[in-house]
Amino acid sequence: MRYRTRLTAPAAALLGTAAATTLAPSAYAASGGTSKAASGKDAAAPGAETLGDPVYPSLGNDGYRVAAYHLDLAYDATTKLVDGEATLRIRTTQALTRLSLDALGLDIRSVRVGGRTATFELVDEKLRITPARSLPANTGTTICVAYGADPRRALTHTAWVPTPDGFAVCPQPNSAHTVFPCNDHPVDKADFTFRITVPSSLRGVANGTLVRTESLAGDRTAYSYRSRSPIATELVQITVGDYVVKDRQGPNGLPLRDVVPVARAAALEPALALTPGLVAWLEQRLGAYPFETYGLLPCNSDDPAAFDFTGLETQTLTLYKPNYLLQEEKFIGSHMMHELVHSYFGNSVSPGTWADLWLNEGHADFYGLLYRYERGWTDSLGLTTMEARMKNTYARGDQWRRTSGPVAAPNEVNLFDSQRYLGGVLVLYALREFVGEATFNAIERTFLDRYRNSSATTENYISVASEIAGQDLSGFLRDWLYGTTTPRMPGHPDWTVTPVPTSLVAPKNRTVAGHHDNSATL
């Protein structure tokens, strides 16, 4: 039996006030274009079914911005199905006769806009909604979508990770809308609250802080969570299973919580105990941890097919396969740092478009490698210093630019290639060599402070770097980020790039983008 759940009072209050969330511009506008919403047209029209992302051009929807989501999900352990209700508080940016959400693989049952029944249709990966009345520009309203989902349904892409006792989700980069209907682009961050109803033998977990636990009829329990900071849809985490939550204190009183399979809690403790030291090290370099809590979620599955990566940042929780965390510290500490860095680069400051992924992955690998070498651990190539690793990477520069494109110009197929990871590290290393360590550190902190709880593009980073360095770095950085050949490395005139055969082209057998373990911190 599937149980219908309802919006709780605290969530309703959040949706009503929108928690003073600043509405983000479209991805296209953020990168210098003009969105349809800014065109000045007063006549009502259907909202655009895209935000113009250069990597995922069909992703996201224009004509409104989401201020807050409330997700009310109920899991049936017998059928292994999910009943869901997603309530979105939006503000229109133009007058709308119709609007759309991203949605795939969801069984939509009903849609209400402003409390009134709305008509809807599913077309490709869009849920088109026609409200009973046109929506004026610059007005707030709610959209409530009731739906069902099967975490085991075969789809062209999915965020669901089925486990023997429930599920977790891995939405990055473009699959949050297989879990809930949404404006699925990191530029449109929003406040989130969650209510997860499960059999009392299981636990429901989500981003943020547990604010309420309810014992319900039928031996069920509902867990409610609230995030203090806005979340990009690709960073949402919802987990159901036989878990125990282990609390500990981090630096400066930061509450840490790990969500651990009950049967493996003791075995995983050595890895979990590393987190306070990792946070302390990173706070010395990037400032105070940006969220209310942090922790690890060793998903209750070691199935190689469960997901195609080692660790995945979701806001306030990092998803792992348990077996990876059973290794010695020297084999996991660097990658644990990589994922922690995403709390700053990727979560607190999200990419303005998916072409800006190097900002996430380059920074995560940069600090993950620094941590590794400071600890005296050799990397996967047997190297022990950042300089040695960067010299090795530099030699591959032109090859990667040929096969994976420039660092900041990916496409859907090569998005998660090493060029976004180590290639991004090489750009940051070149910048640090050029401006000096003190100036580089100031650039990093200024960028994080300026765009906290928002999204930022590569051009935003270039602008901050130029401002803090007191010189125009646009030509220098654009050569590194967009050039088809690798520039000279500052301070290392002896470094050379290995010539690339003219016959070398991008691999032809890659047809679909996916996560790859290309991080140098592994």
Query: For the chain, how big is the Rg over CA atoms in Å?
Result: 23
Task: Report how far residue 88's alpha carbon sits from residue 509's, in angstroms, rounded to the nearest whole number.
Answer: 40
pLDDT at 295: 98
Bigger pLDDT: 509 vs 450: 450
Q: What is the pLDDT of residues 404-417, one digit of tens each?
A: 999 999 999 999 99
Q: How confident is the prediction for the chain on average, in pLDDT?
A: 91
Location of structure tokens 């085991």: 152
Task: Report how far residue 30's alpha carbon sits from residue 63's, in angstroms, rounded to the nearest whole number.
Answer: 15
29: pLDDT strictly greater than 50: no
Task: Report how far residue 483's alpha carbon sits from residue 481's, in angstroms, rounded to the nearest whole number.
Answer: 6
Task: Report how far residue 184's alpha carbon sits from residue 440's, in angstroms, rounded to the nearest whole number.
Answer: 33
Helices (H) and strands (E) in the chain, counts: 12, 23
pLDDT at 189: 98
Q: What is the pLDDT of residues 465-499, one digit of tens each?
A: 999 999 999 999 999 999 999 999 999 999 999 99
What SS3 class is residue 346? Answer: coil
Q: What is the pLDDT of residues 288-347, one digit of tens each?
A: 999 999 999 999 988 887 887 889 999 999 999 999 999 999 999 999 999 999 999 999
Confidence of residue 503 (pLDDT cuts 50, 70, 90): confident
Average pLDDT value for residue range 131-156: 98
pLDDT at 504: 74
Q: Look at the chain and count its residues.
A: 522
Task: Report how far residue 332's alpha carbon sits from residue 68's, in angstroms, rounded to the nearest whole number.
Answer: 36
pLDDT at 508: 58
Q: What is the pLDDT of residues 238-280, one digit of tens each?
A: 999 999 999 999 999 999 999 999 999 999 999 999 999 999 9
pLDDT at 6: 28
Average pLDDT value for residue range 112-121: 98
